[in-house]
Amino acid sequence: MVHLENDLWSVYASQGLTVLGIDLMEPAPLVESWVALKGLSYPIAIDPDAAVYLLFTTSPIPYNMLIGRDGTLRFGSYGFDLIAMRNMVEELLAEDPAPTAESSWSAVKALY
């Protein structure tokens, strides 16, 4: 998750990238202390029974997903491939915003 912070969030957030970490099946105090220890600044959601995670994939963790502005899953990978992630982030950021009043971030937040 530190890679997401340093290599994606800090580089592309100003261009419109939203990073959302989803922690599966761990208690909030444990997650909060780990986030503080690692110095993460992007939002982390807690998915206690993996219900939201399973809406997108059944792959093992860590699994990284990129959701387009239109709310559809556009890229998914097990593990972390920085080059593939950067390429897809740049491609998605170059697209015109989806013609909707609701951002993809709002749609993801609504799941929680």
Question: What's the rounded Cα separation, in Å, for the pair 98 and 70?
Answer: 5
Q: In this structure, what are the phi and psi dihedrals at residue 57, rounded to the nearest 5 degrees?
A: -160, 160
Q: Which of 85, 73, 75, 59 is nearest to 1 (CA)?
A: 85
- Looking at residue 106, what is its pLDDT? 60
C-alpha angle 106-24-105 in degrees, rounded to nearest 5: 10
Domains and CATH numbers, the chain: 2-110 (3.40.30.10)
Question: What's the rounded Cα separation, in Å, for the pair 54 and 9?
Answer: 24
Question: 54-89, pLDDT tens digit by residue?
Answer: 887 888 888 888 888 877 888 888 888 899 999 999
Please provide the average confidence, as pLDDT, over all residues in the chain.
Answer: 84
